[in-house]
Amino acid sequence: MTYASRYGFAETLERLTAAIAAAGNRIFATIDQAQAAAEAGTHLRPTTLLLFGNPKGGTPLMQSFPLLALELPLKLLVWEHDGAVNVAYVPMSEIAARYGVTGEDARIAAMDRALAALVATVA
């Protein structure tokens, strides 16, 4: 799922970070991929990956379906291209289907709603 942000790159990150925290989630990592590219002597447009979640929601899934740890915590990608800022994520329902998750429909749907709500703060 990819959405255009109404804001510039830095403000999009600030707003998403605030929304993630306000929703009771924890940011586990903020990976500035453009900075990493610069440190390696190459160039990448502004690109940041946010890894976040709530262990109360993700841990039960990983307990029942250990391979989900490859996909969790949740991720939001923010990048700028030609002056436009975009936000993307993979819906938890797609991830769950990929790993054959069953019996967790309510939890998966709640995670999808949470991702959509976060992106709606900037889209």
No. of H helices and E strands in the chain? 5, 5
The C-alpha atoms of residue 63 and residue 27 are separated, in whole angstroms, by: 21
All domains of the chain, ordered by start, with CATH? 2-120 (3.30.310.70)
pLDDT the model gives residue 89: 98
- pLDDT one-digit tens code per residue, 56-110: 999 999 999 999 999 999 999 999 999 999 999 999 999 999 999 999 999 999 9
The mean pLDDT of 29-56, rounded to a whole number, is 97
The tokens describing 3, both together, are 């959405």
In this prediction, residue 105 carries a pLDDT of: 97
pLDDT of residue 69: 97
Q: Which of 88, 82, 106 is nearest to 96 (CA)?
A: 106
Q: Tell me the C-alpha distance between 35 and 3, whole Å.
A: 23
The confidence score (pLDDT) of residue 17 equals 98
Q: Report pLDDT digits (tens) over 111-122.
A: 999 999 999 999
